[in-house]
Chain A
Amino acid sequence: DVVLTQTPPTLSATIGQSVSISCRSSQSLLHSNGNTYLHWLLQRPGQSPQLLIYLVSRLESGVPNRFSGSGSGTDFTLKISGVEAEDLGVYYCVQGTHAPTFGGGTKLELK
């Protein structure tokens, strides 16, 4: 199985601060069709997950553009440019190139 390692496990930020979350894969996530099926989700407390970024860097409709994704192969990053209070929760990367697996999650807290 593909293992996704997210760091850091916990992130403390002030409002307006920019932060990054890393997601590293044990195998390349480049599919033979040329797509890289690496996505980012946010799960706010008590809520279902929601999609933020799909295919590494594509912003889901309705998601603020302070969220951005980058990376290739085995190394990926989610960046939040100016944290807002509504961004608090647990962030997960998920890959669908192979049998789906999730990263362990990164909890974003207010400092």
Chain B
Amino acid sequence: AVQLVESGGGLVQPKESLKISCAASGFTFSNAAMYWVRQAPGKGLEWVARIRTKPNNYATYYADSVKGRFTISRDDSKSMVYLQMDNLKTEDTAMYYCTANWGYWGQGVMVTVSS
């Protein structure tokens, strides 16, 4: 069965850093573009970052709201995708989901930025 399992969320203070992870299984991870999507409490979905596959040079793309602060990466040997979040702001508080090509989704991990 396909699984995406996020981990690493928690409570941090503004300007701090946090790295969240997503472990994939049950499908050919190396063939899938991977995305991070977030959802602030009571709000809609917002795309955060995307990373393409090896044939596409692992190209990365970011929403303007996180560009320069967040970094997406992947390790195909471990079927993992990561989101390094630096200089966090209170408005980054959200549930963060990883998704493979929009078809597979994790259960989400909560990130709370508060002093």
Check B63 against A49 for contact (C-beta < 8 Å): no
Q: Is A49's CB under 8 angstroms from B97's CB?
A: yes
> In this assembly, does A50 line the interface, its C-beta being within 8 Å of a C-beta of chain B?
yes
User: Are B102 and A94 in touch, CB under 8 angstroms?
Assistant: yes
Chain B: which residue is nearest A104 at the CB level?
B44
Q: What total of chain A residues lie within 8 Å of the partner, measured CB to CB?
A: 21
Q: Interface SS of chain B: helix, strand, loop or mixed?
A: strand
Output the least CB separation between B96 and chain A (Å). 11
Q: Which residues of A contact B44 (CB under 8 A)?
A: 90, 92, 102-105
Range for the number of chain B residues in contact with chain A: 10 to 19
Q: How far is the CB of B24 from chain A (nearest CB, A)?
A: 14
Known: A94-B45, A99-B61, A102-B44. A51 touches B97 (CB 8 A): no
B-contact 0/1 string along A73-111, CB 8 Å cutoff: 000000000000000001010101001111111000000
Question: Residue B74 at the A interface, CB < 8 A?
Answer: no
Q: Is B105 an interface position by the 8 A CB rule? A: yes
Question: Is B46 a contact partner of A49 (Cβ separation < 8 A)?
Answer: no
B45 with A92: CB separation less than 8 A = yes
Encode contact with B along A12-23: 1 for CB under 8 Å, 0 otherwise.
000000000000
| Residue in A closest to B33 when the chains form the complex, CB atoms | A96
* A49 lies within 8 A of B105 (CB): yes
Query: Nearest CB to that of A95 among chain B residues?
Result: B47
Query: For the complex, what is the distance from the CA of A11 to the CA of B97, rounded to whole Å?
Result: 26
Of the candidates A43, A96, A100, the one having the most CB atoms from chain B within 10 angstroms of its own CB is A100
Which residues does chain A contribute within 8 Å of B99, judged by CB atoms? 49
Chain A residue, CB-CB nearest to B97: A48
- Of the candidates B35, B44, B63, the one having the most CB atoms from chain A within 10 angstroms of its own CB is B44
With A43-B45, A92-B45, A94-B102 given, can you name 5 additional A-B contacts, CB distance below 8 Å?
A1-B64, A48-B105, A51-B103, A99-B47, A100-B47
13 contacts between A and B (CB under 8 A): A43-B45, A49-B45, A49-B97, A50-B105, A51-B102, A54-B103, A94-B47, A99-B61, A102-B44, A102-B45, A103-B44, A104-B44, A105-B45
